[in-house]
Structure 1
């Protein structure tokens, strides 16, 4: 070790002194938990916590939600301040102190003051290393650019949130599709930012869930508007002073914000020459959390513990296990005979409208551990199906075929997936086999669960599979092409699989005409139950080769090869909601509407649309009157592949149904007459109301147009709501000379500017505020002006035409304009009658009434109950 100028503090243990001096390096989860429990177990212990950061005991797992605004104040993330923690526990806390070397032979840690650089040696009787881990810094150019962040501390979260607000960030890229990366993506999306997540692995949540579960979750994220690209490497971060994009193996991804969440690495570099036994940066410990060095222990994100099922080493950097390890270690240090039993890798993540939880081994991990693995994928209700807000669980159970021992679980759902995971955790901890769950008396009431608990239902299905009562095909096997030689049998309540043989379960009382007893039959229903019932019935009638598809249509994209029959009305309605309208000259071809936000797309997006048209459609693209691009001639079976192809590029289909429609915009300030940035405003409206209100049903379609001037190119006054740029002249009458030929009068396009009695006069009630008069007076009487917005409501064209009327106020604040847009949508939902257009609503309740509501705040105060109300379930739009 190099020579250092060191001040030695009076912390070395003296002969005969009974007080145990414990030094803890690191003050977040494991460190503070160890210290607090130590003082509770032994008040005489002298416990000191040293940490480099100014914060201790902060909620690292809550950081993404602070960025998204769900957690409003930074203080809410700080569980304890150093002073408060010291007062509660009696632990001495020293912040701003960085451990830089361990001298185990001297029982000293060399510590540097981060502000002054001064070094000193801290002695100890027992040393606890809880140094945690930090985000891995990518070895690429550009990581130091402004707008590039990591996500580990409250300072990181605060800096990201400030940067987003100060720079009005519109596009972000998150590198890393693990828990933190996906949580950050969700919260950025909630702030109206377009988010792309990339990961070098072939799936999201690598080593956390199995591939088929990851595929389902990825498709869900794409549908929610979060672009996800897997199998993609970041090569360089682009920009001069600030980030402008990321160069990847999938091309250039433009962004104004980049979050690096591609894994973490233990903060153990300073321990490399200490003699400490480590593996890939993690500290190796035994079951008492002791290292190979005398009186040196470790816990938390920096240690390698054991897997509770396999007994093999596992790195599991989670806040939950860090706390458990710290508590156990404190008891060990104070003389309790106790061991830390290891981890299961339990985790849960919240995504937009989907939660994912897991514990134990994945299928792949279980196979690698030598188990004879058997699995099942089981969709179930999460509570009584008739109860309001009932949702679903998709549960994958992993077990050992011979012993029936439960090895792992993965659960997806829009509700409490954690309770499903927690049942599995307790079962695995107790060494449970599947039969132990068969008659488990779990809590039941319609608001909470189903009569037979969803976990128990999944166990029943897996036991049926093991016992041979159920012969099934897993989603992974189906995706790999195992069903190639099978005839698909649709066992749904109604026919829903195009090209499949439909069988009405309730009418099966013997052999089925058209189904051979020897041929391979794949039985598919909505969730799997009816398929199992049919298999059971067919078996008694001599059918030998029936297989039920696990997860059924709920989890799998089921297609019949070479299906040529017409699309059912139900399927036609379903894909219409996705933006695909059937070409009436064909049986199964559709025209898919690609949303362009406001009629403006990038060259990359245009190329993607053209490629998609060639790959999945006829190769032709048309423009609609709403400035969406429509890919022509898409066969029904190509709809989902086309949508996924577009979503990978950040594009989406849609623009139909009784909801807020895509915004149309003129060219705004790129036109010689444009007064406002229509592209910018319409993009904000698109994010706030087309996306933000995507799931809100209205009485009918609601169309919005933004025009840059009163020339009315995109007909704002013939939309349900229209916004027109205004330029209001501020006339300086003292400068008016009353010219015989007035240039202002001559240039007024609608002839409302008149010279009367030697002075220019403009009729305010007739002026349309086009701004053409500005700068025309040679004596500068028309130099000053105010930019603003005029809002029209109640227009429409089509079968019936209605001219919209403008609100009496000319708005000068863009946020106020956006607020009026939202209030108009809320008013239409609350007071409109299903099937009527907004123009009808305005006419029925009166323009003055509507105007008064739009200029007030009552509609916003009722927003939450309005959105939650079960209204307009059908809607009136037919296209």
Structure 2
């Protein structure tokens, strides 16, 4: 059997390796337009910034490795120009010699990946303007920095690559400005979490401009949509990627609603004996079941393995994605999995939202604060999504949450997890468990939480609402929620006796714990509706910043 694969990065090489494990008889050839194969693309910003000293560490495997270990032929510098599904013929061009040849296949796997989106900005093709998608891009950027020693960098876009490049260019001593068309950085996050990232960037000396776009790039400036100008002798365009599907379209393969190749759970395309995997395919979301496009190296490896397996008679089935991702921005980790609040509302869920602010381990062991935002379905308690930001312990927790959501856990299940505990690693009740406790009380225990946005809407509705600051007097006097009265925790029981029982009441403290304690006191004294403000005064202050933007 002749297996041909187009593309030799994560999905293509994973497909070839799995196909070979299943069959020693198959003839497996990969055609790759580029020079580099099977590389660690996510490590590229760190080579540019000097944290990874040797670029070859990101390209540890070459065609000789695959030939010797898997008996797979990888032909680099070869572009597949045409696919004829009826005759099962490929037209292939050797880019070094210019010669074309025909090859036949029994099974074909598209692993053509994705390409950087290059917006129509005047001057975007200038020599000091780069995208970062492959190893050639990485070496080009590194060479330019070494030779030209740029002082001012402008990064257009604030997704994963843009943020990682901001950190690494800053480490090289450049002045860095980020430009984002949206009103927030890190578009995949909810706005109330993205503001944490923006604050951290500012603290590290990175200027962030949101709500504007780049209009023109000159030799040493970037002109924005409002005609303001930024110094920039190095410009990185990091405005996302789109699937590389032109060849598949020409072959008559059906595209999905996201513009990527449509595949079934077995990685089969609409054309018989043709599979697809990696960043060129459309996935579906594990929660909603709807099509999504989430190009990640982890998913590319997974789907490539499935395509290689099924092309050789296997039956592995794809179970969808949650969009789980994590990145580092200086000394802060940012992670998410499942649906954001914005996405859950768009899907029509009635949701409960909590902001859980807890250290990753006890403060006496150097614990550092994490913010965990969770989104749950009010109707059945199912956990829908989580976003976490903090210096330490974020990776551990997001993976726990991803596993829980994958298997349909409900918020009350989190409380019963038998998680590992020792002071160097966690608090006695892990932040994951605290998230479950907050959500369980909110959904089932008559201890509801209210987001700052919901409070703002309630206060603007004209309904009578009592806002109670449960912190000590000194903290209240320094800053408090608008129209809040101060009832310190120590005085709450005495004050509760005289409260009007039918007035909607919202309690808060700095982060949520004391606000919840006063909420309990008021509820037990007969006040009918008492909410605890999610994330407390800390989250309120960030909400004010959001409103000003």
Tell me if structure 2 keeps the 8 A contact 1:232–1:250: no
After superposition, what is the alpha-carbon deviation per residue over 1:319-347, rounded to whole angstroms, capped at 9, x for unaligned? 00000111122221222222111111111
Tell me if structure 2 keeps the 8 A contact 1:29–1:300: yes
The CA distance in 1 between the partners of 2:498 and 2:93, in whole Å, is 81
Structure 1 residues 518 and 372, CA, compared in 2 at 3 Å: closer, same or farther?
closer
What residue is the counterpart of 1:405 in the other structure? 382
The alignment partner of 1:497 has SS state of: helix
The CA distance in 2 between the partners of 1:129 and 1:473, in whole Å, is 47
Gaps of 5+ in 2: none
Tell me if structure 1 keeps the 8 A contact 2:353–2:450: no
Equivalent of residue 229 in structure 1, options 194, 209, 212: 209
Equivalent of residue 526 in structure 1, options 502, 507, 510: 510
What residue is the counterpart of 2:176 in the other structure? 195
After superposition, what is the alpha-carbon deviation per residue over 1:656-686, rounded to whole angstroms, capped at 9, x for unaligned? xxxxxxxxxxxxxxxxxxxxxxxxxxxxxxx
The CA distance in 2 between the partners of 1:304 and 1:545, in whole Å, is 45
The CA distance in 1 between the partners of 2:63 and 2:139, in whole Å, is 19
Structure 1 residues 225 and 250, CA, compared in 2 at 3 Å: closer, same or farther?
farther
Tell me if structure 1 keeps the 8 A contact 2:487–2:495: no
The alignment partner of 1:56 has SS state of: coil
Matched residue pairs, number? 541
Shift of 1:512: 5.7
Q: 2:30 aligned with 1:49, yes or no?
A: yes
What residue is the counterpart of 1:295 in the other structure? 273
Equivalent of residue 53 in structure 2, options 63, 72, 75: 72
Equivalent of residue 353 in structure 1, options 312, 331, 335: 331
Residue pairs, 1:499-510, within 5 angstroms: 500=480, 501-510=485-494
The alignment partner of 2:250 has SS state of: coil
After superposition, what is the alpha-carbon deviation per residue over 1:738-764, rounded to whole angstroms, capped at 9, x for unaligned? xxxxxxxxxxxxxxxxxxxxxxxxxxx
Residue pairs, 1:73-92, within 5 angstroms: 73-92=54-73
What residue is the counterpart of 1:219 in the other structure? 199
TM-score by length of 1: 0.59
What residue is the counterpart of 2:125 in the other structure? 144
Structure 1 residues 220 and 514, CA, compared in 2 at 3 Å: closer, same or farther?
farther
More displaced stretch, 286-295 vs 329-338: 329-338
Structure 1 residues 377 and 482, CA, compared in 2 at 3 Å: closer, same or farther?
farther
Equivalent of residue 231 in structure 2, options 247, 254, 263: 254
Tell me if structure 1 keeps the 8 A contact 2:44–2:138: yes
Structure 1 residues 56 and 558, CA, compared in 2 at 3 Å: closer, same or farther?
closer
Shift of 1:469: 3.0
The CA distance in 2 between the partners of 1:550 and 1:77, in whole Å, is 42
Residue pairs, 1:6-85, within 5 angstroms: 20-85=1-66
Shift of 1:508: 3.8
Tell me if structure 1 keeps the 8 A contact 2:511–2:537: yes
After superposition, what is the alpha-carbon deviation per residue over 1:47-69, rounded to whole angstroms, capped at 9, x for unaligned? 11110111101010111111111
Shift of 1:315: 1.1
Tell me if structure 2 keeps the 8 A contact 1:301–1:318: yes
The CA distance in 2 between the partners of 1:75 and 1:481, in whole Å, is 57
Tell me if structure 2 keeps the 8 A contact 1:532–1:548: yes
Tell me if structure 2 keeps the 8 A contact 1:110–1:119: yes
Q: 2:433 aligned with 1:424, yes or no?
A: no
TM-score by length of 2: 0.93
The alignment partner of 1:181 has SS state of: helix
After superposition, what is the alpha-carbon deviation per residue over 1:496-519, rounded to whole angstroms, capped at 9, x for unaligned? 233654433235442269966565
After superposition, what is the alpha-carbon deviation per residue over 1:740-792, rounded to whole angstroms, capped at 9, x for unaligned? xxxxxxxxxxxxxxxxxxxxxxxxxxxxxxxxxxxxxxxxxxxxxxxxxxxxx
Shift of 1:475: 3.2
The alignment partner of 1:64 has SS state of: helix
Residue pairs, 1:245-644, within 5 angstroms: 245-249=222-226, 251-279=228-256, 281-388=259-366, 390-478=367-455, 482=459, 486=465, 488-492=467-471, 495-498=474-477, 500=480, 501-511=485-495, 521-544=505-528, 546-557=530-541
Structure 1 residues 436 and 522, CA, compared in 2 at 3 Å: closer, same or farther?
closer
Could you say which structure has the larger radius of gyration?
1
Structure 1 residues 496 and 451, CA, compared in 2 at 3 Å: closer, same or farther?
same
The CA distance in 1 between the partners of 2:376 and 2:370, in whole Å, is 19
The alignment partner of 1:495 has SS state of: helix
After superposition, what is the alpha-carbon deviation per residue over 1:152-197, rounded to whole angstroms, capped at 9, x for unaligned? 1122122212222322222111111111111111111222212111
The alignment partner of 1:39 has SS state of: helix
Gaps of 5+ in 1: 1-19, 560-636, 646-879
